[in-house]
Amino acid sequence: MSSSDDIWILGIHMTKFGKHYDQDLVDLGSEAVMGAIADAGVTMGDIGIIAGGNLMGKGLGIAQQIQKQVGQTGIPAYNVSNACATGATALRTAIMAVKAGECDMGLAVGVEKLAGVGLLAGGSRGEDNDEWEREGRYGAVAPIDGRIGTEIMPGVFAQVGMEYDHKYGGATFELFAKISEKNHGHSTLNPLAAYTKAMSLEQIMGDLMIAYPNTRPMCSANCDGGAAAVVVNGEKLKTLSLEQQRRAVKVTASILTSDPYEEACQVLPNVNTLTRNAANQAYEQAGVGPDDLDLVELHDCFATAELVHYDNLMLCEEGGAVDFFESGAPFRTGDKPVNVSGGLQSKGHPIAATGIANIWEVAQHVRGECGDRQIEGAKVGLAHVIGLGSACGVHILEKSGL
């Protein structure tokens, strides 16, 4: 494979996640873009494609709207909406355009405003009738809320966690709370996280129960934020300064999967198979395995989700997620640090920004620029997101050899 086929992250940036009442979607997206191109040491004039991701906003064409604020140059603009994998999908869009030879350099941005929206539901609740009646194209399967299951995310991932415990055992309420305790502890070293407060096990277990076994601190935090990345091919990178080359992070795998065909029920989405498929493809594409990873940022939308994704990403043997956690491996000081950023439970989850923000965290560690929370010697990391519908993005990043 020639260097022109190689893809590198040249610049990347995320805003502070939290409540930004004085900034709208375009403001936050533009802040992320300007930060990314400054980090890359380039300008909008160098960019050959922009892919913009947004899920919950009412406006159309977030990529074009951001361009109007940061610089319109007539380049192709793609708008992406792919559930919680929106940001990762936007980045993959830019990567594919560069790999296809349409341009040497591309830009991806994801942005969301979710502060104050409350718990997100997956569908509208049907009328409270005694007898359910089919209606519309999707009437045979949705809305299911209150009929045969739930589409509301806390309920879905509560079931996901309980299903894992039923199948393998050991996944107790206290263990899920310990996962959350880990992530809230990690957040204290991340100044860009929405919440940077450590919480005790007692506080977490005693907080408001949202959907057993997830209490409020065990759920991802809806908030505002943006993240953006500039990608470049290997040939173009060679023409840039030695400092730009040194800080560039190689994207050795960029994978997006959806649900394969399988016999399944209508009650509970399968969040496991498409993640495991994405991980397998990513490891093969990157030429590495789980044992080669120095850190992982995975989609812990709920504490229960983090546990099952230990297994889905093959960080442990199948069915061994409980033992993996209890070994101390996923702690910042462990053998396989997971969610050193604080994860979605602390860092926050502005949906469309999350995929790129997870990549930002890994990239900063690989660069050696994470300050007090730096994983020493980090050279290879994995970023994972999953959005129900379903979509899973996995990216593997490696340190520059310079």
Catalytic site residue from 84, 103, 219, 316: 84
- The yes-or-no answer on residue 349 being catalytic is yes
Residue appearing with tokens 């990216």: 395
Q: Cα–Cα distance between 8 and 26 in angstroms, integer? A: 26
> Is there a contact between 373 and 340 (Cβ–Cβ < 8 Å)?
yes
Indicate the residue type of 98.
Answer: V
Alpha helices in 261-398 (DSSP H): 273-286, 303-312, 321-326, 343-346, 351-367
The pair of three-digit structure tokens given for residue 198, joined into one six-digit string: 């450590």
In degrees rounded to 5, what are phi and psi of residue 219? -105, 150
Indicate the burial class of 30 (C-beta count within 10 angstroms; 0-12, 13-18, 19 or more).
buried
Indicate the burial class of 216 (C-beta count within 10 angstroms; 0-12, 13-18, 19 or more).
middle
- The yes-or-no answer on residue 219 being catalytic is no
Catalytic site residue from 13, 349, 384, 395: 349
> Is there a contact between 76 and 97 (Cβ–Cβ < 8 Å)?
yes
The residues carrying an active-site annotation are 84, 349
